[in-house]
Structure 1
């Protein structure tokens, strides 16, 4: 089996789930490797996501580990048999792997929940807004690197603009809506774009006003992506080294609690829409 030099986050996640199945059943890696007729090294590679696993081996592993969750096994089998290229593959070698991983995770999500305190969420950004944000990088990016980043960010919007869009709920702090990353026209166009997305019906935006009581989540920015089954939900958070993918159930529970608490501090959708509309009048 060919080794993957750089497995995607989705492939790594599949390997992690295989290891969880085995460990939950108390099965040693050597025992399961023997069952699957692979070496212990190959078993480690499959659990790391650096080597693929066939559907037949996956189902044999699940049965041996007494996994009775048929929906989970089917979801894992689907991941194991995926062999399609996504639009994000156009950027392989152009953008960091984590960018491709984020787009892939969004593509396969069943719903998206997001909290953004400092910036307008990427899925709602206009090209000029995104360019202004990326232009602030230090060291500065040459246009040859800036242009594909803006293009990539615009293409990510496909998940909420396709014929079968995802349900997307975003909670945005007033600060992010007011800060001018570029100029007045860019800010106005950005706010109008958010209002246009709200009108589509599948995008929900809630605003946290600056003077709102009960909001202590200045560092709450995150994205929560629904999986085909709850066990395969994924969390994304910014970290000093880049985007951090979260799949541990205890941490996912914390993110769900965080989203609930932030939502409780936000305005209702209709009041949020009216709030954003008032901001456009001030510009």
Structure 2
């Protein structure tokens, strides 16, 4: 099979997890290749996500690496097969690759948890709210570029409205609810949209009010994407220079703790909904 020229984040993650298993077993890539009856270059290509690998091969590799976690083996095997051309692939020539990676992660997620301080989460934004944010981009977008970003963001929201929607929890600081991006009318419509979404059973929106004495996470935007098993979870952080994806065990544990503290310090679901309504009425 020819190598994959542009592996997706999912393909790269499969390779990275196989590398972790090999390293945990104390094997070099040369030793692993010898045990599997392939050359060392093949192992390196698989671990880089650049060589197609089937479910049987993944299971054989995991067994060779003394992996005894059957749930993890099943999850890794499920990540193999033909590359799924999701709707996000149509944007490959127009948007940064990490935005396609985010859409792919959300599509396969078991659960999504996000925390923001002064912004509304992307999956909860109205189109007008998103347009207002895009107008502030530096450097500014050309009209057609802004349209690509807008439609991509709106299409990402399908994970909340499909037949089997993903479980979604958003933890917002009250400051985000007072920001009037796009002006008062757009802000009121955005808050009304949050109230409407919060009434769905699979969507939880919780607010950390100004009256709380602390704010865990120091205002950092956090997206926690749960995989089919905890080892395949991913943290996505926004930076001024793009997106950062973290999957090391220590990072995952850290951000699970941070999100847990945020949730503990937030209002209940009904209280949060009432606060959103009050702020909307005050605009």
- The normalised TM-score by structure 2 is 0.96
1:42-121 map, 5 Å: 42-121=42-121
Q: What's the CA shift for 1:50?
A: 2.0
Gaps of 5+ in 1: none
State the alpha-carbon separation in 2 of the partners of residues 216 and 74 from structure 1: 35
2:29 corresponds to 1:29: yes
Task: Indicate conservation of the 8 Å contact 1:89/1:100, yes or no.
Answer: yes
Task: Indicate conservation of the 8 Å contact 1:109/1:225, yes or no.
Answer: yes
Worse-superposed segment, 96-105 or 40-49: 40-49
State the alpha-carbon separation in 1 of the partners of residues 240 and 184 from structure 2: 31
Count of aligned pairs between the two proteins:
283
2:114 corresponds to 1:131: no
State the alpha-carbon separation in 2 of the partners of residues 224 and 156 from structure 1: 15
CA deviation profile, 1:120-168 (whole Å, cap 9, x unmatched)? 0000000011111111111110111000110110111111111211110
Inter-CA distance 236–62: structure 2 relative to 1 (3 Å threshold): same
2:200 corresponds to 1:207: no
Matched with 1:193 is 193
Worse-superposed segment, 50-59 or 14-23: 50-59
The RMSD of aligned alpha carbons is 1.3
Q: What's the CA shift for 1:185?
A: 0.8
Matched with 1:245 is 245
State the alpha-carbon separation in 1 of the partners of residues 216 and 106 from structure 2: 28
Matched with 1:259 is 259
Q: What's the CA shift for 1:60?
A: 1.2
Worse-superposed segment, 187-196 or 131-140: 131-140
Matched with 2:18 is 18
Worse-superposed segment, 46-55 or 92-101: 46-55
Task: Indicate conservation of the 8 Å contact 1:116/1:176, yes or no.
Answer: yes
Gaps of 5+ in 2: none
- The normalised TM-score by structure 1 is 0.96
